[in-house]
Structure 1
Amino acid sequence: MFGEIDVIIQIHYKERNAAVHLCKSLTLLFRAAGERPLVFVCIGTIKAIGDALGPMIGTLLQDSELKNTHIYGTIKEPVHALNLQDTMQEIHEKYNHPFIVAVDASLGHLHHIGYIQLLEGPLFPGNSMKKSLPQVGDIHIKGIVNTIGPYNYMMLQNANEKSVRNMAKTIATALFNASALTEKKPQKAADHVV
């Protein structure tokens, strides 16, 4: 559907039980990571509503007080183009062989808006903005917030705020529950994070 060969799951955030389906795939990946420290890198800024998807997710996860998971990228302390390299260096210095989940907003075709993709391998942030940034993650999640076009920054600014917020809640819920289910002493899973 999206032309990616490494897509693990793709689901529209409005689809019934979207967070549950995403959680199941994430749980398998987190269990396969074994004892590696789990780190979420939620990329983006609040300067454009579409680009705020990552920081919204990071903030929801941080507010949920998830144990044994390390979160980078929130509304108050975003991870973006200017600090991404330093953030990744800090993560690799602080944690021994971390399992990194990168989360970012993405642009796509009109009929892809609202889809969440979980993909194997690293994220290449800034591609749609023609930025050369370090790759991030063992796996990554992309939320398609608007269409790709000649003025991609404008497309990020003009994303539907309600859709971005709801997509953030779906992704954060899936990440929270998958993390809780893979801990040695699991936390109670939640219907939603907020």
Structure 2
Amino acid sequence: MFDRNVQAAVRVDANGLISFMRDIASAHAKEDLTFLCIGTDRSTGDCLGPWVGTLLEERGFSRVIGTLREPCDADKLPGIVPKLADMGTIIAVDACLGRPENVGAYLVRQGPLVPAQSVNGGFGAIGAYSIAAVVNATSLKPYWTLQSTSLYSVMAMAKEIADAIVVQWQA
């Protein structure tokens, strides 16, 4: 059944991220949120989620799943998903590949994202809210594309996401 409250993803920049997080903060206390930061520390493009998780932990956020120390990757995600029902409102954060003109932008929405979609991961949708960072352009070799993505760009995008979150819920 179609959920009328789920919005289509909207392309935003860093200022749009702040606005998106402000809307979430107006509806949810920090204590009610869990940040699910999806990805691996073994791929430059796909380390965005764990990098965001690490930055949030360093800034005092305790309800974070997925950090550089303990990534929430394709191996661990199936074991984590059943536990999410008891973890409040989930904000899912993941890297993605997209159109060349969208690289460096964020796709945000009230509604879930599908992890590992660009590499045909086969996971279900996760999150009440989602942020997908377009770290590189879609290609015929998505694993290679993620592996060869600029670490500097990914780190900058992760910082923008973490900053947008922290400014709303001062840790």
- Fold equivalence (TM over 0.5): yes
Indicate yes or no: 2:56 matched with 1:61: yes
Indicate yes or no: 2:116 matched with 1:116: no
Q: Show CA shifts across 1:19-54 (max 9, x none).
A: x54222212123224687201000000111000000
How many residues of Structure 1 are paired with residues of Structure 2 in the alignment?
Answer: 165
Residues 94-105 of structure 1 mapped to structure 2, 5 A cutoff = 95=87, 98-105=88-95
Map of 2:163 onto structure 1: 173
SS of match in other structure, 1:142: strand
Task: Indicate the percent of aligned positions where both proteins have the same amino acid.
Answer: 32
Indicate yes or no: 2:42 matched with 1:47: yes
Indicate yes or no: 2:130 matched with 1:157: no
Q: Which amino acid aligns with 2:72?
A: V
Q: Show CA shifts across 1:161-180 (max 9, x none).
A: 11111001000100111223
Instruction: Determine if contact 1:24/1:178 at 8 Å carries over to the other structure.
Output: no
Q: Aligned partners of 2:63, 2:10: CA distance in 1, in Å?
A: 23
Q: Which amino acid aligns with 1:177?
A: V
SS of match in other structure, 1:78: coil
Residues 18-97 of structure 1 mapped to structure 2, 5 A cutoff = 18=14, 20-33=15-28, 37-66=32-61, 70-93=63-86, 95=87
Q: Unpaired segments of 5 or more residues in structure 1?
A: 12-17, 181-186, 188-194
TM-score by length of 2: 0.88
Q: Aligned partners of 1:160, 1:84: CA distance in 2, in Å?
A: 25
Q: Aligned partners of 1:45, 1:171: CA distance in 2, in Å?
A: 17
Q: Single out whichever of 137-146 and 81-90 deviates more from structure 2.
A: 81-90
SS of match in other structure, 1:131: coil
SS of match in other structure, 1:135: coil
Q: Aligned partners of 1:34, 1:75: CA distance in 2, in Å?
A: 25
Rg larger in structure: 1
Map of 2:12 onto structure 1: 10
Q: Show CA shifts across 1:91-134 (max 9, x none).
A: 324x3xx1110000000111111111211211111111112113
SS of match in other structure, 2:106: strand
TM-score by length of 1: 0.78
